[in-house]
A and B are shown apart, each in its own frame.
Chain A
Amino acid sequence: MSERIDVSIEHRHAPAEDGGKPHPNTCPKCGSHYRDDELAASLYVCTQCGHHFPVHARDRIVQLTDEDSFVEEAAELRSDDPLEFFDLRPYAERLSEAELSTGLGEAMVIGRAAIEQQPCQLAVMEFGFMGGSMGRVVGEKFVRACDGAAERGVPLVSVTTTGGARMQEGILSLMQLPKTVCAVEDLHDAGGTLISVMAHPTTAGVLASFASLGDVLVAEPGALLSFTGPRVVQQTTREKLPDDFGLAESNYRHGHVDAIVPRPELRGTVARLLRLFANGR
């Protein structure tokens, strides 16, 4: 990568080519642009300024787990439309579209895996699937991941990236908060461990349920971790928001997360925690 010419200074203020959203491979912080293979090689972290790009669930699993160790579970689960919800478009249509664009059945992928030879259960969210929102299937998958971890006597590692509960399932999506909380409590009663990794963004209903109940809470740099997002806080309160409002760094300073771990160190850190919770085994 050393032969690449740094053109970030020239590009920093260049308008996006289509006049709208910047290219997904362009760093929103410093303007550096990457090829797909460059980004994948750097774990989707900007090598110039350290900005963490979003990671799809499948890529996250590849980054974290030992090669070929991941065995997906409950992949067949699909959401239905309990309220026959219709806003500007039908919920059912949004679901099919999300499935097509992400190649995933829902906004969470679960399964068994190993990280540096430590066996664990994995629950990884996909922001690309309707903003990583938690409806009944996401809740159910998380519960199954907890039960699987308890049954096999291995820790559960969750990686969250989500806007919160899924509005299209109404009150049933709110019920996923107590549902996942009860599952974590059952896991803890069985002597199990939850390691919660919070990526950008982990907000609202997921922050207010299982993501905050990990034995250890780890955040990625720059991740927004807030119950209410900055825009709503600004509109409701007219308060001047601090520059780092709701960010992982602010949460760390105020004592709400145990560590901020840059993505290149995440796999090693999770493995170290798994070894510690396995009590030296």
Chain B
Amino acid sequence: MAGEAELRLREQLSRLRSLPLLRGAKLSGELERLQKQLDRLVAEPSSEEIWRSVELARHPDRPYTLDYVERLLDDWFELHGDHHHGDDAALVAGLGRFRGRTIVLLGNQKGRDVKERTRRNFGMAYPEGYGKAMRAMDLAERHGFPIISLIDIPGAYPGVTAEQHGQGGAIARSQAELARLHVPVVACVIGEGGSGGAIATALADRVLMQENAIYTVISPEGCAAILWRDAGEARKAAAAFKPDAAHCLELGVIDAIVPEPAEGAHTDTDEAARLLGDALAESLELLDGLSGDDLRRQRRVRFRTIGQVPATR
């Protein structure tokens, strides 16, 4: 399984090593990060480790979007509502200052206690949530603000009113809106990256994943229910479709893995926030010199070429 991603990382690593150390400290941090990612990649995660990621990604004490907002942004101002007919508490959007510059932040938000979980619908967005996200994207585009999008959603809400309000179309249009932007977009999966509900706000220039996050086309339970005809086979399903960060990096779906505190993000929210903040800042810096047209073109190329189809059999 050690394939293209490993080669890519090794190449990056040797290139960095031979560079004259212009930005000394910064670069050695990068070296360390690459080496770490390489080590993880070489040691392919076992089925147990994959399932552990699933459990950690869903850990009830795992930091959520607003925990990071509190620690990473100054002057946070939350935007509410799609300005058509509803406000979806499962998807937050707002303005804030991140390391000195104004950004727009989008993020899925789960609840901590029963009451909040209900209010936020367990983080499962309605079309109104994507409507709010699109409004915020539009705002960012008009004012040239970069967008940070934090992904943590079990899946878009599967309900009657959600369908009647156009869930599928909302997810499609949210992606289309992201594909049109001339501002930098950085996304990070911080927990569950659940299917269409996740990709709706993850069509970004740089896509990151926390070490113990998962990114899936369907929940392990959903996949097990369909293919194994038994939702109890979720472990097998997870092992088969490999939703962990190391595999997503290997497959070229994400650009980098964001480290977490040793025992998982839930053990030290402050440290997890610091590590996430550094990774987001680094990604934004990488995109800084690019013109709006270049950003948009490269973003589309990125997604058009992910997982290239093999040559004819």
Tell me the A residues contacting B by CB distance below 8 Å.
76-80, 82-83, 85-88, 136-137, 140, 143, 165, 167-175, 177-179, 181-186, 203-205, 207-213, 225-228, 232-233, 236-237, 239, 241-242, 245-246, 250-251, 254-256
Q: Are B172 and A250 in contact (CB under 8 A)?
A: no
Does any Cβ of A come within 8 Å of B21's Cβ?
Answer: no
Beta-carbon contact of B158 and A237 below 8 Å:
yes
Q: Which residues from chain B contact A140 at a C-beta distance below 8 Å?
A: 309
Residue of B nearest to A242 (CB): B160
- Which of B175, B227, B303 gathers the greatest number of chain A CB atoms within 10 Å? B175
Q: Does B163 contact A (CB under 8 A)?
A: yes
- Is residue B251 within 8 Å, beta carbon to beta carbon, of the partner chain? yes
User: Which chain B residues have a beta carbon within 8 Å of chain A's beta carbons?
Assistant: 156, 158-160, 162-169, 171-173, 175-176, 179-180, 195-196, 198-200, 202-203, 215-218, 222-223, 226-228, 236-237, 240-243, 247-248, 251, 253, 299-300, 303-304, 306-310, 312-313
Q: Which residue of B lies closest to A185 (CB)?
A: B179
Contact in complex: A77, B172 (CB < 8 Å): no
Cα of A255 to Cα of B166 in the assembled complex, Å: 9
- Top 7 nearest A-B pairs by Cβ distance? A207-B168, A228-B158, A170-B241, A212-B172, A87-B227, A227-B168, A208-B171
A179 and B304 form a contact (CB under 8 A): yes
**B160 in contact with A207 (CB, 8 Å):** no
The residue of chain B having its C-beta at the shortest distance from the C-beta of A166 within the complex is B217
Q: Is the interface of A mostly helix, strand, loop or mixed?
A: helix
In the assembled complex, how far is the CB of residue A100 from the closest CB belonging to chain B, in whole angstroms? 14
- Identity of the chain A residue whose Cβ is nearest the Cβ of B233 in the assembled complex: A87
> Closest CB of chain B to A174's CB: distance in Å?
4
In the complex, are the beta carbons of A167 and B218 less than 8 A apart?
Answer: yes
Assess the A241–B160 pair: CB atoms within 8 A: yes
What is the interface of chain B mostly: helix, strand, loop, or mixed? helix
| Distance of B286 from chain A, by nearest CB (Å) | 20
Contact partner of B172 (CB less than 8 A), chosen from A78, A170, A209, A251, is: A209
A182:B160 contact, CB within 8 angstroms? no
Q: Which residues of B contact A76 (CB under 8 A)?
A: 312
Residues in A neighbouring B166, C-beta threshold 8 A: 251, 254-256
Interface centre among A80, A207, A242, A245 (most CB of B within 10 A): A207
**Are A207 and B195 in touch, CB under 8 angstroms?**
no
Determine the residue in chain A with the shortest Cβ distance to B179.
A185
Cβ of A88 and Cβ of B227 under 8 Å apart?
A: yes
The answer to whether residues A227 and B227 also contact, given A177-B199, A184-B176 and a CB cut-off of 8 A, is no
Residue among B164, B198, B253 having the largest count of chain A Cβ atoms under 10 Å: B164
Name which residue of chain B comes closest to A138, CB basis.
Answer: B309
B215's nearest neighbour on chain A, judged by CB, is A171
Residues of A within 8 A of B247 (CB): 171
Closest A residue to B312 using CB positions: A76
Taking a contact as CB atoms under 8 Å apart, the answer to whether A228 and B179 are in contact is no
In the assembled complex, the Cα of A208 lies from the Cα of B125 at a distance in Å of 14
Residues of chain B lying within 8 A (CB to CB) of residue A174:
195-196, 198-199, 215-217
Are B312 and A77 within 8 A (Cβ)? Answer: yes
Partner of A136 from the list B156, B237, B248, B307 (CB cut-off 8 Å) is B307
Q: In the complex, which residue of chain A has the Cβ closest to the Cβ of B307?
A: A172
Q: Are A226 and B240 in contact (CB under 8 A)?
A: no
CA distance A42 to B307 in the complex (A): 41
Contact B196 A205 (CB under 8 A): yes
Q: Is the CB of B160 within 8 A of A239?
A: yes
Q: Which residue of B lies closest to A174 (CB)?
A: B217
Contact of A172 with B312 in the complex, beta carbons under 8 Å? no
